[in-house]
Amino acid sequence: MPDSKLDVTCLPPDQQSDLRRNIIGRIPLHIGRGGIFIFTVTSDQIKSIVEQELRQHFPELAWYTVDPKDREANGPLAKIRALLKGMAIRKGHLIQTEKMDPARTIFTLDIRKLGLRDAGKVLYALNIQREFVPDNHILFFLWCAPEHTPRFITDWAKDFWSFRTNFSQFGDIDPTAGQ
């Protein structure tokens, strides 16, 4: 969790503007329609600041984090597909669960701590099932590390990249914030 004194004003002004205009301003247009938002963040602290701001602006939306290490046979989107159908696997058995409403849920996937090869495999799995996101009106947030450059992402998931709604980069804390 970020230091309680840190908030969006700790980001450099250009990143604050990007967050407010290009992300917070666009999400309402995609609720119930779907969209892929790709974020590159330099640290857990920066991710927490951005996520905290998003949660404050959209308290009505549920958040579901997909585990990138979950070895679902067909990748992360297969896990989301099962959740939307109201199915889950518990201790090796398929069970019925409450269906998730894609129009009221943000699905997030954080690949920052995976090695480049494993991150690439996750991106490849996303690429294969890319149509699933807009077809099911899913809001999907992908959190990437700085080394997951647009070039790296397109090398593994060119078509997934072309389906993106937004790509934003968030870096270090602004040293002049609060002065």
pLDDT of residue 177: 55
Let me know if residue 105 belongs to a domain: yes
Let me know if residue 90 belongs to a domain: no
Contact 27, 139 (CB under 8 A): yes
Give the pLDDT mean for 58-81.
75
CA distance 172 to 163: 28
| For the chain, percent of residues with pLDDT exceeding 90 | 22
pLDDT of residue 37: 93
Tell me the average pLDDT of the chain.
Answer: 81
| For the chain, percent of residues with pLDDT exceeding 70 | 77
User: How many domains is the chain partitioned into structurally?
Assistant: 1
CA distance 130 to 25: 24
Give the pLDDT mean for 119-143.
87
Give the pLDDT mean for 119-142.
86
- Look at 88 and 141; give whichever has higher pLDDT: 141
Let me know if residue 38 belongs to a domain: yes
- Look at 3 and 37; give whichever has higher pLDDT: 37
Q: Tens digits of per-residue pLDDT, 38-62?
A: 999 999 999 998 999 999 999 999 8
Let me know if residue 117 belongs to a domain: yes
Let me know if residue 85 belongs to a domain: no
Q: Tens digits of per-residue pLDDT, 86-130?
A: 655 555 555 556 667 777 888 898 999 988 988 898 898 888 888
Give the pLDDT mean for 134-139.
85
Is residue 22's pLDDT more than 70? yes
Let me know if residue 95 belongs to a domain: no
Task: Give the domain range for residue 115.
Answer: 13-69+101-170
Let me know if residue 91 belongs to a domain: no
CATH number of the structural domain spanning residue 45: 3.40.50.300
